[in-house]
Structure 1
Amino acid sequence: MRTRPFFGARIEDRLKKVINRVLKRRGWQESVRPYTGYGTSEQIRVLARIVLQPSKQFGIVQAANALLYRRGWRNFIAFSKADAAASVRFGDTTVPVRADRGGYIDVRIKNPGLEPGWHSVTVQGSDGASAVASVQIIGDDITFGVVSDIDDTILSTWLPRPFLAAWNSFVLTEQARQAIPGMARWYQQMLEANPGAPIIFVSTGAFNTYPMIRRFQKRHGIPHGAMLLTDWGPTNTGWFRSGTDHKRTALRELARDLPNIRWLLVGDDGQHDPELYAEFAELQPEHVLARAIRELSPGEAVLAHGIRLEDGEHRWNPTTAPEFRAPDGDGLADKLRKLDIISF
């Protein structure tokens, strides 16, 4: 059994400590990046990140921001503040927390009495920086929710083809990103017909892109919900973290945190969503209502991974939780109506 973190992670941690000291001497300041969380009557899951970023007084940074307004590379102008002390405050309650080696805060805190609906909590760093994070408290009587992928499900990105991924992530302006037709309308209809139901976005994308995705959602009318993203770089077990393991873990955590909900799992056939969703539906059928898979066009499939995954490759065959497929949100909505398993 491994007793020490992977050596790549240890090297990264040492470099972070050195770089943190250098950046602080150069005037970089602590900043808190809040992410949307969720909760129940029992507990609240708070998500945020503590980073160091250039001071706003640096004229060169302001000039760059004006010149390259909201281009993708801006999402990465920060450096994690590893193992930073912080606190979470809501109402009269303050809870001390600590960031992990990537600067991330992912904690579950006892709900002090927040009612179902949207609430704000304040995350404050040790140097005084703070930010307000949104959390959705989900009622104990809610039995339906949506889990949605992001890339090629609501947002056309052509990931993970390396050149196109880099171009989309670092160069294009946010306004150049394209929404998948019909998805926003479908999500709005389902949540309007099922008041209080959550939508949770689970993706292998980096948390660095969270601000861009939130602005994209607002611009295209995609409902607000918690986002369970990931981090890039070495982990405690290897050089790269597994995207499929991240999604698998996220689904298990949702089943544990929200045991009363049966999920509509929405993804695409460009990577591993069909197999992951089928696996989850077979292992935990009580938590899955149905599986909706957006079919990529032949061109999108080639750009995504060079070939289209064949249905025969899926080794999981759940007897419950029907799967249906269509190329866009309107097509998926029509097929879900025919199943007549939820109202919208």
Structure 2
Amino acid sequence: MSWLKKDPFQIIAFQSYGTNSHFYARGRALEDESIDLEARNTWRLLVNSWKRFETDEVKNVGLDLKLPNNTIIKATTDRKGYFIVEANLQDLKTLTNDEGWLSFELSFNDVTIKRNIQNQNRFPGELLIPSSKAQFGVASDIDDTILQTGVVSWLKWRLIYNSIFKSVKSRMPLEGSVDLFQRLHRGFSGKNANPIFYVSHSPWNFYRYLELFLKQNNFPKGPILLRSVSEALKKKQEGEKPQKQKEILNILKTYPKLPFILIGDSGEHDPDIYIEIAEMFPDRILAIYLRSVKHKKKMLRVRSLVKNFKTTPMMLIDNSQQAIEHARKHGFIT
């Protein structure tokens, strides 16, 4: 928070997903620190990184969520400013566009809030309800899968450097990844509108950064599913699944008739997570694509896993064209 002036409140709605009868949205209410996502100056990038994590939450405040049919759903932020809006409703698909996106509007309903609120207390949000034209869904990692981050570098120094000292405008997608994802989104008919879910272990603090990266590079729009800093830092209970795995399992359970392609990299835990998911849902996972990373020891282990895994097609790929060729051969794309 600025010492000289009070920052206005804002509501950030994270792109989420639901069904024709189940509305589920989430986001966070924060003071608007005016982070300049287009900054390139080193000092401004450092300031942005500080603001991204030194958040001032709007905690325990009431919100209204308004649907296009004027239905109002109530919610309250928690002590970290996060909120979840969940409701069982009917015929939500009638409110979506051709791609399956349902637009809604959020506002603060607490009349005791005296501080200036930007946008006349109206904040946009979107929810994806996969189109009936969908042939399959895609659940993909982000780091070192479509965005070069250096997550396997020594002490993750390259990941830290890229996250702090590189503007989103200067970040480039891995070669061919946009073409691959656009083809998978369009599917075999070229008009399938297959849903893409971006699932990462990055904290929600990077949501707008990643949202802009995907948009400016023309990746298909899709829910971006991250985790809170507290989730990243807390010690896991014995047998507890990683957050990324929980998210993908929830997606599979939300859409029980939709098969999926899983995309990740060989650097961290994606191979183990995806293998376990495929073994749980052997008839639902069409293929697994794992992008190779420059780490000899990790690659030796992953190659062994891939060689011995027979439940569903699982490929190590050095470039996106290999995945495109496999997807075309199996009728996922033209």
- 2:57 is aligned to 80
Over residues 111-148 of structure 1, what are the superposed CA-to-partner deviations in whole Å (9 max), with x where a residue is unaligned? Answer: 44332522211122344644101222213563411111
Q: Which ranges of 4 or more aligned residues in structure 1 deviate by more than 4 Å?
A: 22-26, 64-72, 234-237, 312-319
Residues 1:259 and 2:256 are matched in the alignment: yes
1:95 aligned residue (73, 78, 90):
73
CA distance in 2, matches of 1:51, 1:256: 31
Other-structure match for 1:185: 179
Please, which of 221, 229, 234 is the counterpart of residue 232 of structure 1?
229
More strand by share: 1
> Is the CA contact 2:67–2:105 (under 8 Å) kept in the aligned structure 1?
yes
Distance of aligned partners of 1:111 and 1:138 in 2 relative to their CA distance in 1, 3 Å threshold: farther
Structure 2 vs 1, CA of residues 244 and 329 (structure 1 numbering), >3 Å: closer, same or farther? farther
* Correspondence for 1:122: 105
Listed one character per residue, the Cα deviations across residues 154-202 of structure 1 (whole Å, up to 9, x for unaligned) are 1001126443222212222223312111110011112222523100000
CA distance in 2, matches of 1:197, 1:218: 17
Partner of residue 283, structure 2 = 286
Please tell me the residue identity of whatever aligns with 1:86: L
Checking the alignment, whether the CA contact within 8 Å between 2:133 and 2:192 is kept in structure 1 is no
Structure 2 residue 298 is the aligned partner of structure 1 residue 320: no
Q: Secondary structure at the match of 2:162?
A: helix
Superimposed CA distance per residue, residues 195-216 of structure 1 (whole angstroms, 9 cap, x where no aligned partner): 2310000000111111111221
Structure 2 residue 104 is the aligned partner of structure 1 residue 110 = no
**Match of 1:310?**
301
Q: Is the 8 A contact 2:147 2:173 kept in 1?
A: yes
Query: TM-score, normalization: structure 2?
Result: 0.80
Distance in 2 separating the partners of 1:82 and 1:106 = 13
- For these two proteins, the number of residue pairs brought into alignment is 309
Q: 1:57-109, CA deviations, whole angstroms, 9 ceiling, x for partnerless residues?
A: xxxx89x9796566751534532233432221113111111223432223332
Amino acid at match of 1:119: L
CA contact 1:40–1:140 (8 Å) conserved in 2 = no
Deviation at 1:32, TM superposition (A): 0.7
Question: How many Å separate the matches in 2 of 1:139 and 1:234?
Answer: 32
> CA 1:286–1:108 in 2, change beyond 3 Å: closer, same or farther?
farther
Moved more, 176-185 or 78-87: 78-87
**Contact 1:142 / 1:197 at 8 angstroms: preserved in 2?**
yes
Q: Verify the 8 A CA contact 2:292 2:299 in the aligned structure 1.
A: no
- Structure 2, unpaired ranges of 5+: none
Tell me whether 183-192 or 125-134 shows the greater mean CA deviation. Answer: 125-134
2:163 counterpart of 1:163: no
Alpha-carbon contact 2:15-2:222 (below 8 Å) kept: yes
Note closer, same or farther for the CA distance 1:33–1:155 as it changes in structure 2 (3 Å cut).
same
Structure 2 counterpart of 1:270? 267
Once the two structures are TM-superposed, the CA of residue 311 in structure 1 deviates from its matched residue by 2.9
Q: Once the 2 structures are TM-superposed, how far is the Cα of residue 239 of structure 1 from its aligned partner?
A: 8.8
Query: Aligned letter for 1:108?
Result: E
Provide the secondary structure at the position in 1 that maps to 2:252.
helix
Asked if 2 retains the 8 angstrom alpha-carbon contact of 1:142 and 1:260, the reply is no
- Displacement of 1:149: 0.5
Q: d(CA) in 2 for partners of 1:166 and 1:243?
A: 27
Report the AA paired with residue 253 of structure 2: R
Query: How large is the Cα RMSD of the aligned pairs?
Result: 3.3
Q: TM-score under structure 1 normalisation?
A: 0.78
| Counterpart contact for 1:181–1:329, Cα < 8 Å | yes
User: What fraction of aligned residue pairs are identical, expressed as a percent?
Assistant: 22
Q: Which residue of 2 aligns with 1:52?
A: 31
After TM superposition, give the deviation of residue 265 of structure 1 in Å: 0.3
Taking the aligned partners of 1:235 and 1:156, their CA distance within structure 2 comes to: 21
- CA distance in structure 2 between the aligned counterparts of 1:317 and 1:107, rounded to whole angstroms: 43
